[in-house]
């Protein structure tokens, strides 16, 4: 059914259609609307049987999820930003125990300085935690990926993180096709756990493993993720068969035919990039786009195949690996090992900075002319950086950097965008 609803609401409906049995909630912007909506559905009985538990921290949220999942319940939670970091120990634990929890990450920056706006730093910080990480380009895809995520998680006994851009998607009202319960039931069978805490058949979960077997256990986690590289496209195909929509998969190309330059990105910024690329194509520029949906497992072969024919790639990413540059870019370069492509990293949209077509035209133009620096910070205000550096040069007690920059900047309320 087509609805004009908020992204968070659409995702909440998708999660509810997946018939979760335990939902843990702890508030953090911008994921709150999702769990609020689910809480209401549980309270009214629209989502039943389901336990909705308000916990005291994100660490507890993931811990309750671990217990519920280990006891055989289909389990869901959502978080973002600092919340994801606060639960990190349990995030790794859920993956290590092989518990198929599904979690939405409403992507948001990590402080300090504290910042509630969107970028991908939170999810990227967890790229090696053992969870599958899927990134949604639109709210429709976010909705669809949640349904696929439960199926994938439970088939593989691995937790899945569905990443959607905070505010840009979570708070955007747009058209979403919310499927019928019968279709979701047809796609997603009831949860049959591989391991379950049950007095009828006692097992010990989470025993200590020493050097004699730790490598093997970790290898199995890796092998399972790698098997998802096969499974994710199949599940997307099956999804299409049931729901009639293309959603998910490993990567998605756009206008890649004869593209000399390929822009690689994740998440909702792909929309703005595609609009920009259309304008460039209209001018005869041979440029295309590769959207990565599955960041973990990272589809090395699919990325390589998509970029192999190009002359250069530009990774535009909403994250920064301080001290090296790009995170996505590093992964993409690994996929291109041995190929002679020029590569550029554009760090963009940090802490919610708008990524505009105007700026994209400028940097893509520079990349195409091979004038772009290897790691470029989109719309970086160099004069502001210079002022801080000057101040630090001049006085020892130069003060907090964030405060200094804001003082230089003056009021921001009067600016648009």
Partner 1 sequence: MFQIRIHGRGGQGVVTAAEMLSIAAFLQGKHAQAVPSFGSERTGAPVVAYCRIADQTIRLREPIMEPDAIIIQDPTLLHQVEVFGGLKQDGYILINTNRSFEELGVGDFVRGWHAERLCTVPATEIAMKHLGRPLPNAVLLGGFAAISSVIELASVHAAISEKFSGKVAEANIAAASAAFEYVLREMKEAADHA
Partner 2 sequence: MAFQPVKFYQTGTFTVGNRLLDEQQRSVQAQEERSNSLNSGHRACQGCGEALGARYAIDAAMHATGNQLIAANATGCLEVFSTPYPESSWQIPWIHSLFGNAAAVASGIAAALRVKGRGEVRVIAQGGDGGTTDIGFGCLSGMFERNDDVLYICYDNEAYMNTGVQRSSATPPAARTATTMAVGAQPGNVFGQGKNVPAIAMAHDIPYVATATVAELHDLEYKVKKAMGFHGARYIHVFVPCPLGWGAASQDTIKLARLAKETGLFPVFEAEHGEVTSVSKIRRPIPVEEYLRPQKRFAHLFGQEPAAEVIARLQTIADRNIKKFGLLDAAA
Interacting residues with partner 2 (CB under 8 A) = 21-22, 24, 49-51, 53-57, 59-60, 63-73, 75, 89-90, 93, 97, 197-199, 201-210, 212-213
Q: Least distance (Å) from partner 1 to the CB of residue 138?
A: 8
Number of residues that bind partner 1 (CB under 8 A): 34
Nearer to partner 2, 21 or 317 (CB): 21
Contact, 289 vs 239, CB < 8 A?
Answer: no
Question: Does the footprint of partner 1 cover residue 352 (CB under 8 A)?
Answer: yes
Q: Which does 49 bind (CB under 5 to 8 A by kind): partner 1, partner 2, none?
A: partner 2
Q: Is 6 an interacting residue with respect to partner 1 (CB under 8 A)?
A: yes
Q: What are the b/e assignments for 24-63, b being 16+ CB within 10 Å?
A: bbbebbbbbbbbebbbebbeeeebeebebbebeebbbbbb
- Using the rule CB under 8 A, is 292 a contact of partner 1? no
Of 169 and 328, which has the nearer Cβ to partner 1?
A: 169
- Cis omega (within 30 of 0) for bond into 49: yes
Measured CA distances, 205 to 35, 49, 101, 195, 202 (Å): 29, 26, 16, 8, 10
CB of 54 to partner 2, least distance (A): 7
Q: Which of 259, 262, 275 is nearest to 303 (CA)?
A: 262
The two three-digit tokens of residue 81, written as one number: 């930003």
**Do 394 and 363 form a contact (C-beta atoms < 8 A)?**
no
Alpha helices, H only, 18-138: 32-44, 58-70, 81-86, 88-97, 121-125
Choosing from 57, 173, 386, 390, the residue that interacts with partner 1 (CB under 8 A) is 173
Candidates 62-70, 84-92, 113-121, 196-204; binding stretch for partner 1 (CB under 8 A): 113-121
Q: Is 269 in the site for partner 1 (CB under 8 A)?
A: yes
Report how far residue 119's alpha carbon sits from residue 109's, in angstroms, rounded to the nearest whole number: 5
Instruction: Give the position of tokens 């935690």.
Output: 129
The reply on whether position 413 binds partner 1 by CB under 8 A is yes
In this chain, which of 89, 230, 258, 275 binds partner 1, going by CB under 8 A?
275
Q: Which is nearer to partner 1, 223 or 416 (CB)?
A: 416
Residue 289's nearest CA partner among 338, 252, 318 is 252
Does 185 participate in binding partner 1 (rule CB under 8 A)?
no
Q: How far is the CB of 171 from partner 2 (least distance, A)?
A: 28
| Cα Rg, the chain, nearest whole Å | 22
Task: In whole angstroms, give the CA distance from residue 99 to residue 68.
Answer: 10
From the list 55, 71, 88, 116, which residue makes contact with partner 1 (rule: CB under 8 A)?
116
Residue 381 tokens read as 């205000």
Give whichever of 28 and 250 is closer to partner 2, judged by the CB atom: 28
Residue 171 binding target from partner 2, partner 1, none, CB below 5 to 8 Å by type = partner 1
The crossing angle, in degrees rounded to 10, of helices 269-282 and 357-368 is 60
Among 172, 242, 300, 402, binds partner 1 (CB under 8 A): 172
Q: Which of 355, 363, 367, 378 binds partner 1 (CB under 8 A)?
A: 355
> Shortest gap between Cβ of 279 and partner 1 (angstroms)?
11
């Amino acid at each position: 059914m087509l609805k004009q609803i908020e992204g968070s609401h659409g995702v909440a409906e998708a999660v509810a259609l997946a018939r979760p049995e335990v939902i843990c909630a702890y508030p953090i912007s911008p994921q709150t609307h999702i769990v609020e909506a689910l809480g209401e559905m549980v309270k009214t009985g629209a989502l039943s049987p389901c336990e909705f538990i308000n916990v005291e921290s994100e660490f507890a949220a993931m811990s309750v999820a671990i217990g519920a999942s280990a006891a055989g319940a289909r389990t869901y939670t959502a978080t973002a930003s600092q919340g994801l970091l606060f639960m990190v120990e349990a995030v790794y634990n859920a993956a290590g125990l092989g518990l198929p929890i599904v979690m939405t990450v409403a992507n948001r920056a990590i402080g300090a300085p504290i910042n509630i706006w969107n970028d991908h730093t939170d999810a990227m910080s967890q790229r090696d935690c053992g969870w599958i990480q899927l990134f949604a380009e639109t709210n429709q895809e976010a909705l669809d990926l949640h349904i696929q995520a439960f199926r994938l998680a439970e088939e593989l006994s691995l937790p899945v993180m569905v990443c959607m851009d905070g505010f840009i998607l979570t708070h955007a009202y747009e058209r979403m096709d919310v499927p019928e319960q019968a279709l979701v039931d047809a796609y997603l069978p009831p949860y049959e756990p591989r391991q379950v805490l049950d007095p009828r058949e006692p097992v010990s979960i989470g025993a200590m493993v020493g050097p004699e077997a730790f490598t093997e256990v970790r290898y199995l986690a890796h092998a399972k993720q790698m098997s998802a590289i096969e499974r994710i496209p199949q599940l997307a195909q099956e999804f299409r068969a049931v729901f009639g929509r293309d959603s998910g998969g490993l990567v998605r190309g756009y206008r890649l035919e004869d593209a000399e330059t390929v822009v690689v990105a994740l998440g909702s910024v792909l929309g703005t990039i595609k609009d920009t690329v259309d304008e460039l194509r209209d001018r005869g520029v041979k440029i295309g786009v590769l959207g990565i949906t599955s960041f973990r497992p990272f589809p090395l072969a699919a990325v390589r195949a998509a970029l192999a024919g190009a002359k250069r790639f530009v990774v535009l990413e909403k994250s920064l690996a301080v001290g090296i540059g790009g995170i996505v870019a590093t992964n993409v370069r690994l996929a291109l090992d041995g190929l002679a492509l020029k590569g550029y990293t554009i760090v963009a949209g940090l802490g919610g900075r708008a990524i505009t077509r105007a700026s994209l035209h400028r940097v893509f133009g520079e990349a195409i002319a091979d004038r772009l620096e290897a790691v470029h910070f989109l719309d970086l205000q160099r004069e502001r950086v210079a002022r801080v550096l000057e101040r630090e040069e001049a006085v020892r007690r130069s003060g907090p950097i964030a405060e200094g920059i804001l003082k230089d900047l003056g009021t921001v309320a009067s600016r648009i965008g």
